[in-house]
């Protein structure tokens, strides 16, 4: 039986195809070795890193917000209305509880909201209220204003009528980046305008009807507490 012989043309073509396959196979192996195995997202290493980050940051601070009722605000027997509002955290209803948990405090912000008691049709005499913040006093050292000049020269002094139709909102100018003070002495007898809860909001109005309630008011303060015991 006759045997089929490969022609030189067929043999040469087969060698080229085999060489091409070998080169391609070696290229795939090199690429795979450089890339290495893919790492799954959210693996053990990333979970360990997140856990370590959380554990290394102790929870010893808290932002605390509280509100105080200030009204009703009334005129005196001479027709003048003089008021002063301290910003100390000691006015909070949870003050005793906070003392058992935290040791330091500083004021972040404070807002006072006013609403009129007397209507526009009332027979009472209406007037202009001056309001401002004295930053060299605090809730321990304050004195009541005795004239309009005691308030008009304060920081962020504003005016509004006693018969306001819509609530009047006064944003207290709290000094930025206050330092912490002892929670039980955030308004000490020796004034510290740079720490704790400094400042006192003062109000003055005159030529009003004697002994009459004019305004309702509430104050909301936000504090940063630190130092868990």
Is residue 83 a contact partner of residue 71, using CB atoms and an 8 Å limit?
Answer: no
pLDDT value of position 57: 44
- Report how far apart, in Å, the C-alpha atoms of 184 and of each of 65, 67, 135, 136 are: 17, 18, 20, 19
pLDDT score, position 87: 96
pLDDT in tens, 80-94: 999 999 999 999 999
pTM of the model: 0.72
Position 84 scores a pLDDT of 96
Which CATH fold would you assign to the domain 61-226? Jelly Rolls (2.60.120)
Radius of gyration of the chain (CA): 38
What pLDDT sits at residue 45?
Answer: 54
* Whole-number pLDDT of residue 223: 97
What average pLDDT is seen over the chain?
83
Q: What was the pLDDT predicted at 183?
A: 95
Integer Cα distance of 69 and 62 in angstroms: 23
Statement: residue 19 has pLDDT above 90: no
Instruction: Please determine, for residue 54, whether its predicted confidence score (pLDDT) is greater than 50.
Output: no
Report how far residue 52's alpha carbon sits from residue 44's, in angstroms, rounded to the nearest whole number: 12
Q: In the prediction, which pLDDT does 217 show? A: 96
């Amino acid at each position: 039986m006759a045997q089929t012989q490969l022609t030189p043309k067929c043999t040469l073509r087969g060698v080229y195809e085999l060489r091409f396959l070998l080169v391609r196979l070696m290229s795939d192996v090199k690429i795979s070795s450089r890339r290495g195995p893919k790492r799954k997202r959210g693996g053990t290493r990333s979970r360990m890193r997140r856990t370590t980050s959380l554990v290394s940051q102790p929870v010893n601070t808290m932002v605390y917000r509280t509100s105080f009722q200030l009204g009703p605000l009334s005129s005196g027997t001479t027709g003048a209305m003089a008021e002063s509002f301290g910003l100390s955290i000691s006015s909070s209803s949870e003050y005793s509880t906070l003392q058992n948990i935290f040791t330091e405090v500083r004021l972040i912000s404070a807002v006072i909201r006013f609403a009129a008691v007397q209507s526009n049709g009332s027979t009472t005499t209406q007037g202009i209220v001056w309001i401002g913040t004295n930053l060299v006093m605090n809730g321990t050292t304050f004195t009541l204003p005795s004239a309009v000049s005691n308030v008009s020269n304060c920081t962020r002094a504003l005016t509004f009528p006693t018969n306001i139709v819509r609530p009047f909102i006064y944003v207290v100018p709290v000094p930025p980046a206050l330092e912490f003070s002892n929670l039980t002495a955030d308004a000490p007898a020796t004034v510290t305008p740079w720490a704790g809860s400094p400042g006192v909001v003062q109000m003055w109005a005159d030529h009003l009807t004697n002994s009459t309630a004019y305004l309702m008011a509430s104050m909301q303060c936000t504090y940063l507490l630190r130092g868990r015991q």
